[in-house]
Amino acid sequence: MCGFVCLWNLDDEELASRMIRKMEHRGPDALEVLRPKNIPVVMAHARLAIIGPDNGAQPIYQGDNILVVNGEIYNHADLRAILGEAAFQTRSDSETVLHLFRNNALRWVSRLDGMFAFVLATPERIIAARDPLGIKPLYVAHIGEGLAFASELKAFDGVDVTRIEALEPGAMFDSVAGMRRWYRMPQGAADPEPGIDEELTWRELRLVLEEAVAKWMVADVEVGSFLSGGLDSSIIAAIAARQSPKRLKTFSVGLAGSPDLIAARRVADYLGTEHFEHAFTPEEVARVLPHVIYHLESADIDLVRSAVPTHFAARLARRHVKAVLTGEGADELFAGYTYHHAYVDRPRELADELTRSLGTMHNINLQRVDRVTMAESLEARTPFLDRELIDFAQSIPATLKLRRTDPASPESTGPTTEKWILRKACADLLPHDLVWRKKAQFDEGSGAVTALGEALQAMTGSAAPLDRAAEGAVYESLLRQSYVDPDRIINAAGRWVANRVSVAAA
């Protein structure tokens, strides 16, 4: 995992160096700035070495092509075999991007399987692309007649630009051919087809999920797993523990005695993982809050609330591993949020809402996961967002994801059960009561909301808990203090409820 800067038709190595140093946290293993003589570009790269750590330095400069990549290409071994090993000069998975481009296939970028953002330049053109879900960030700005690309908004802070835009997920920009969308989110299914076999469906889901976890564990360094004690992270940890070549390391955080810490400890004991935990305090939360908001690049209340425990988990994990698996994406795929229960009798609206929320993850929850983990030089991996798993999950009818259930049944979480088919698919991996445990948001189960409330009172000197508006004002104030031009950051923030699909009246 890495961070990069690319200046096209802007011959300014000093600017590239200044911008990349604002993102050194993304890649502490190496920092390079390169201006090739035959291409009108300056590229800078901060590297966190995960695959090919000994000879995978970037930018990758070969002949008339130069490339920077942030992310992981999980099918790089297969692509090497197809493209011919003799063409490769490094062991880096990123080099496959260069040779696919040189292969000149019409839809070459669609053959990349992973989480990635990259910029590739030749003497005549520049190409930039982003993975299907936008797991890895990529921004582009106009500076005079040139273009500047960067992995984080903070790289542009204090730089005189015309405008800054995020490259959309699944999009590719080509200075010669223009913009195109190389991946489109498949529309979610609503009602089951006649004669559907539910058991066959959940058994196949299990196989697709196991394959995704195996793929997303590929690395030349040890990969651990976040473990909140909730269903999603516990499923990932359970599958990873079976596939890991050594005893899996798991990481959990929360207030002392919080439900998440207790549940995670129980799951870790059940799975036999090497478990690490940290009990944070309101005083710690107050101390790290400016740091979290600066790196998060957002003052959104819900995002900050979930970013705080993510920060402590990332800091804990980085002491032991360079990469972790997370359960991010399961709620969007399988209807796991509290508000989804209102759609229980409206499968078409639910399927549409899940499709919408998957498409907006890039500047909400995935932004949190990327920024907060990379602030600690940790790579976070999201196997639930594997492209093949998304395709399969979107083909599963919404009626199998959220359904009415008998609260007295041992296989229910109440009158309506969320993520029903995911629970069925993984029921044998974990204790029964955990599989059918009622969901708690990460910030609630960890106690982060309680700790934040106490921290904010202490920071503001308030005698009473802050209401939501006052809480948001504190976060925005901290963000504004961190940036030369904070309005750029604030204006770029995503909103979870934007364009939400409404539930039709009965």
Q: Is 2 a catalytic residue?
A: yes
Inter-residue contact 45 to 4 (CB < 8 Å): yes
Q: Which residues pair with 33 in a beta bridge?
A: 44
Residue 446: strand, helix, or coil:
coil
- Alpha-carbon distance of 117 to 365, in angstroms, equals 17
Confidence of residue 153 (pLDDT cuts 50, 70, 90): very high
> Which residues, 6+ apart, have CB-to-CB distance to 504 below 8 Å?
346, 349
> Which one from 1, 2, 34, 46 is the annotated catalytic residue?
2
Sheet harboring 164-166: ordered strands across? 30-34, 41-47, 2-8, 146-150, 139-143, 164-166
DSSP 12: -
Q: What is the number of alpha carbons within 13 Å of residue 394 lying toward its C-beta? A: 21
Given this model, what pLDDT does residue 505 score? 47
> Which residues, 6+ apart, have CB-to-CB distance to 446 below 8 Å?
228, 253, 254, 255, 258, 260, 261, 309
Residue 229 has pLDDT above 80, yes or no: yes
- The average pLDDT across 278-301 equals 97
What tens digit of pLDDT does each residue of 374-417 get?
A: 999 999 999 999 999 999 999 999 999 999 999 999 999 999 99
Q: Where are the alpha helices (DSSP H) in 217-321?
A: 231-243, 259-271, 282-296, 301-318
- Alpha-carbon distance of 453 to 284, in angstroms, equals 13
Place of tokens 């932004």: 367
Place of tokens 């496959």: 96
Listed residue (143, 138, 167) closest to 153, CA to CA: 138
- Could you give the C-alpha distances from 423 to 296, 335, 437, in angstroms and in order? 32, 12, 10
- Could you give the C-alpha distances from 385 to 116, 134, 185, 362, 375, in angstroms and in order? 13, 10, 12, 11, 22
What tens digit of pLDDT does each residue of 352-384 get?
A: 999 999 999 999 999 999 999 999 999 999 999
What tens digit of pLDDT does each residue of 302-332 get?
A: 999 999 999 999 999 999 999 999 999 999 9
Cβ-count burial 52-90 (b if 16+ within 10 Å, e if not): bbeebbbbbbeeebbbbbbbbbbbbeebbeebeeeebeb
- The average pLDDT across 112-135 equals 97
Structure token pair of residue 34: 């390169």
Residue 1 has pLDDT above 70, yes or no: no
Inter-residue contact 326 to 365 (CB < 8 Å): no
Given this model, what pLDDT does residue 506 score? 41
